[in-house]
Amino acid sequence: MKDYEQMENDIVALLNSNDELKALATITALPDNESEYKPNLTKSKVYIACTGAVYGSPENLAIVVQEETISFEAIITSRTRKGNSGVFGLIKRVGAILQGFKLYQGCDRISLDKHGYIEGGQNGFNYMFGFTLVTKAVANQPDPDEADPENDAYPLKIPEFLI
């Protein structure tokens, strides 16, 4: 499975591939440093951030496999709330692009979670738009109790789409 940073970048690339959305807003991953976060708006902005993951119960297999629900947020900043480039228009466009999109093989389609107001002020309105991606987290740790040096099939080979 891809790491979270790569997932953010791939979602940004997906959103940037939509020319209509790109004309209305600047779309990037949330910056690493607070100083890179530019609140002065000349154009609406959409920041993509992985906000965490929740793991399901381990499946009873020869290796540990758990469902991993990865949460993301699009942080949408605009000087206006209404209209095509306002937060409501951008939420609708971002949601239409992401909902049901299958980012990787071995993952469920992206599902929308929630959206809501964060804050408003002199730098515009900030809304968050949450969405999730469900995949499998796979531990690639051999069990020393099951090691069989005579057997070439050990350690287990994990299917590529689960990695």
Beta bridge partners of residue 45, listed in sequence order: 26, 77
pLDDT value at residue 120: 78
pLDDT value at residue 158: 52
35-44: long-range contacts, CB 8 A cutoff, minimum separation 24: 39/77, 39/123, 39/124, 40/123, 41/77, 41/78, 41/79, 41/123, 41/124, 43/85, 44/76, 44/77, 44/78, 44/79, 44/85, 44/86, 44/87, 44/90, 44/124
* pLDDT level of residue 22 (50, 70, 90 thresholds): very high
pLDDT at 34 over 90: no
pLDDT tens digits, 143-161: 666 655 555 544 445 555 5
Which tokens in the block code for residue 152? 């070439």
- What is d(CA 6, CA 153) in angstroms, rounded to the nearest whole number? 31
What structural domains and CATH numbers belong to the chain? Answer: 4-162 (3.30.2000.10)
- What is d(CA 52, CA 74) in angstroms, rounded to the nearest whole number? 13
pLDDT value at residue 148: 57
pLDDT value at residue 154: 47
pLDDT tens digits, 107-127: 999 999 998 998 877 778 899
Which tokens in the block code for residue 144? 């020393």
pLDDT value at residue 94: 95
pLDDT tens digits, 88-106: 999 999 999 999 999 998 8
Strands 111-121 and 124-138, sheet pairing: antiparallel
